[in-house]
Amino acid sequence: MASVNPARVLKHARRRAGMTQRGLADAAGVPHSTVARIELGQLSPRTDTLVRLLGATGHALEVSPVLGADEDRTLIRDRLAMTAAERARLGIHEARAALELPRPVRRP
């Protein structure tokens, strides 16, 4: 699962909004020390606090699926462990096997 670095996210959002730490703190209704400690990585904010701070900058915290998180990568790892020659031989073998598959019957 991908991890969010609140310090980087908040500092980036604040700077893009052209705000100071104190200005952000006032806009979000939190102490200035809270914003400073989050941006220094000394404090890991609760989700609702981070959402409120980002909202005050005009940004939002969004949850989205991680691409490829549910994929079985066993075959990929197996192929990457092979040499190029082994992968080429396997490709030839699989191509020949595919040619032996029955052809679909086309009806007029």
54-97 residue pLDDT tens: 999 999 988 887 777 777 888 889 999 999 999 999 999 999 99
> What pLDDT is stored for residue 106 in this prediction?
81
Measured distance CA(62)–CA(65) in Å, rounded: 10
Indicate the residue type of 103: R
- Contact call for residues 57 and 50 (beta carbons, < 8 A): no
Percent of the chain with pLDDT over 90: 72
- Contact call for residues 54 and 13 (beta carbons, < 8 A): yes
All structural domains of the chain with their residue ranges: 6-56, 71-101
Q: What is the reported pTM?
A: 0.60
Q: Report the CATH fold assignment for 6-56.
A: 434 Repressor (Amino-terminal Domain) (1.10.260)
Give the end-to-end CA distance of the chain in Å, rounded to a whole number.
52
